[in-house]
Structure 1
């Protein structure tokens, strides 16, 4: 049984495991590659390099495949050139594709020469598609028969060692074009002379090789099958996307969305160099600074009002915060809907009306609560009315912005998860400040 990861991290970091590769080898020999990869990513770079030396040689390739790009590249750079021949001894096209962006050109060439002719063909075909398209990630282990095959041929095929996640046989014509999909379980109740075409699924989904990986992965997860066939522009069967690959790809997609919302790269190393981390994060800090100055400029337009009614300055953060939270809730919902393909022009109007109603209900409730609190705090009825109206207006505006900002960014081919929150915060801050201070100028001076 694997030792809990936090305990093993503590042992390695505190040096209780020592620096002896033999001791490390003993500790890691019984662990799976996913566990080892997670352990290495969790260690400071100096300790990581020491532990890497003790990782069993036959596991090093699989460990690299399981790691994120940034921490993986550190280990690749630290590995002696003479070790790569043995590390690449069992590499296949899928492994090389996973490592492609991390390996220097010389190592890519070395790994490619290690592949057999069939794996080289798979690699060349996959690299014709960018890694954002499903054709880049197809699995070539599949059950294929001619379109005129009978049940007996299907049963004979099943007597071989079956690939993982293989619950269907794919039928192709003489040109290799996909014809039909037959579930394996249907063969056992059919007569041997029955044509497989007669048992084919009528509505089985087919993935186009140029389809976005997130969309294709969701189709696999919803299909009820262990894998779906992938075809090229000529309908030729080139492979399949199985449920394991689909789950990994969709998990990476959502991790990328979460990290992008903070302006960060999902591959960033926990212990990446300070200069690199600072450089990666500086851009969005700079963008945020510009938007903050823009909001401050709008506040400066009401300098005279703030000088005469100090209470407005005290309550300004409340208005901005309420609008920002309300907007981010709507933004998150819409970004998820866009990612899943659930938000389209057909349902946009209904979605906008619904979010306006939600914003209106929450706006009225919290505007009244904050207005009453402001009245008792400053004993000023007009101040309570001003912040009440400003909160209501800002929450409704935030709901509208939460719908339109990600949709417009998506139309412009800009990732809404990456820049939507920055734009939304700017909108809600400016609207909130202008509404609050404008109403304050009108009612309180």
Structure 2
């Protein structure tokens, strides 16, 4: 990409995506597919659609493959039906496996029809495995020779074509069962009449198609080989799992775990619709509410000691906890965006507005729920009003802090991934307690 990602975001968003969008598209022509995908994910939906429309159709398929599913589905839904024949031209099984969960059934059928006979067979075989098994993700581009092949056969095969991330020739018997592997470096310089089996690597690990994809990927990363053979239960060679695919699956798994700590999906779009973002996060807020009320119940055991302020003391953890989880969700999304260079001063305002709207939606919903519960629990309507207002204010403050804090920490050269959650918890606790106890002092005492 000719310009760094933050500069392109500035250029598109600052000009409202209208003046120079064609010029930006022309700049992107030499860029890598993953760079274009990252740029599209970094833009508010309106600017994203403008850039997508002017991208050449021949680039769109590869860009979609590199995108997360949420922003990808937005683009797929907005693409006219008559464009898809051109976009899907040249699709292969690996591309379709990546896209299949995002494509509506009509487009999936069209994509399958666009596969050639061999690629369709690969696709059908891969879909026999669920996506958590490595057999779903294998590559069929590999160097394979019969067990009785000689060095001259290996050299001829290498001259014809060597796939990316391939450092070995796989040897199979007449039934297609994997027998051994030969490093390419061992073939060069060896006598041409020598059987390849005499140069085989005894220590190469083998992966089964039913193995967990993350476990198999870690095995590839640690093996010292560019790719490992994948076999079925009968030892028949299915394909290979290379270091690039392995690294992508490991990274996706790590990102999934990080996002899951805040109850979020790693595929969530930075600029997903407010209703969708609120819905995705509401469940975790509800689960957190149950644990918060459990803590409140334990505090309630000391009711006799706390006397007049017992209700406030019992409900204080609810206020702090709801703000904490809401802020953590926003913080996690922003930290990921900062790590990928997707957030700049140009799109920060739009992102903050979106997060405040999400906080407002969830704030209203859960403030009402908690207010009603508090009223029924203590038979005090004013107490219900106090906690309702406090929850709403704290969730809004958490959304604001979740956006602003990591940006400030990054400018101060402090890692927001390490320290952001600690500071955020402090902020939400202080705001929650001050709002709750302050309102309680006004209305209840």
TM-score, structure 1 normalization? 0.68
Aligned with 2:225: secondary structure? Answer: coil
In the alignment, is the contact (CA less than 8 A) between 1:21 and 1:53 conserved in 2?
no
1:189-228 equivalences under 5 Å are 189-228=189-228
CA–CA separation in structure 1 for the residues paired with 2:2 and 2:251: 24
CA pair 110-200 structure 1, distance change in 2 beyond 3 A = same
CA–CA separation in structure 2 for the residues paired with 1:42 and 1:232: 41
Match of 1:64 in 2: 64
TM-score, structure 2 normalization? 0.68
Match of 1:112 in 2: 112
1:73-84 equivalences under 5 Å are 73-84=73-84
CA–CA separation in structure 2 for the residues paired with 1:226 and 1:17: 42
In the alignment, is the contact (CA less than 8 A) between 2:182 and 2:197 conserved in 1?
yes
CA–CA separation in structure 1 for the residues paired with 2:272 and 2:218: 32
Counterpart check, 1:131 vs 2:131: yes
In the alignment, is the contact (CA less than 8 A) between 2:17 and 2:47 conserved in 1?
no
Could you list the per-position Cα deviations for residues 283-318 of structure 1 after superposition, in whole angstroms to 9, with x for gaps in the alignment?
A: 1111111111011101111123345999xx8xx99x
Structure 1 residue 15: Cα displacement:
2.0
In the alignment, is the contact (CA less than 8 A) between 1:24 and 1:54 conserved in 2?
no
Could you list the per-position Cα deviations for residues 228-280 of structure 1 after superposition, in whole angstroms to 9, with x for gaps in the alignment?
A: 00011211101001000000010000000001111111111111111111111
Match of 1:13 in 2: 13
Match of 1:283 in 2: 283
CA pair 246-295 structure 1, distance change in 2 beyond 3 A = same
Aligned with 1:169: secondary structure? Answer: strand
CA–CA separation in structure 2 for the residues paired with 1:72 and 1:161: 33
Structure 1 residue 27: Cα displacement:
3.0
Match of 2:330 in 1: none
Aligned with 1:230: secondary structure? Answer: strand
Across the aligned residues of Structure 1 and Structure 2, the Cα RMSD in angstroms comes to 2.3
Structure 1 residue 17: Cα displacement:
5.4
CA–CA separation in structure 2 for the residues paired with 1:243 and 1:258: 22
Counterpart check, 1:3 vs 2:7: no
Could you list the per-position Cα deviations for residues 114-158 of structure 1 after superposition, in whole angstroms to 9, with x for gaps in the alignment?
A: 111000000000000011110000011000000111111111111
In the alignment, is the contact (CA less than 8 A) between 2:168 and 2:182 conserved in 1?
yes
Structure 1 unaligned regions, length at least 5? 325-445
CA–CA separation in structure 2 for the residues paired with 1:177 and 1:161: 22
In the alignment, is the contact (CA less than 8 A) between 1:24 and 1:55 conserved in 2?
no
Q: Judge which range, 174-183 or 191-200, deviates more.
A: 191-200
Matched pairs, number: 317
CA–CA separation in structure 1 for the residues paired with 2:166 and 2:232: 21
1:16-55 equivalences under 5 Å are 18=18, 22-55=22-55
Aligned with 2:238: secondary structure? Answer: strand
4+ long deviations beyond 6 Å: none
Match of 2:252 in 1: 252
CA pair 19-95 structure 1, distance change in 2 beyond 3 A = farther
Q: Judge which range, 248-257 or 152-161, deviates more.
A: 152-161
Match of 2:435 in 1: none
Match of 2:184 in 1: 184
CA–CA separation in structure 2 for the residues paired with 1:30 and 1:208: 38
CA–CA separation in structure 1 for the residues paired with 2:309 and 2:276: 46
CA–CA separation in structure 2 for the residues paired with 1:142 and 1:204: 16
CA–CA separation in structure 1 for the residues paired with 2:86 and 2:174: 40
In the alignment, is the contact (CA less than 8 A) between 2:2 and 2:28 conserved in 1?
no
Structure 2 unaligned regions, length at least 5? 325-445
CA–CA separation in structure 2 for the residues paired with 1:296 and 1:16: 48
CA–CA separation in structure 1 for the residues paired with 2:309 and 2:289: 27
1:342-353 equivalences under 5 Å are none
Match of 1:101 in 2: 101
1:277-316 equivalences under 5 Å are 277-307=277-307
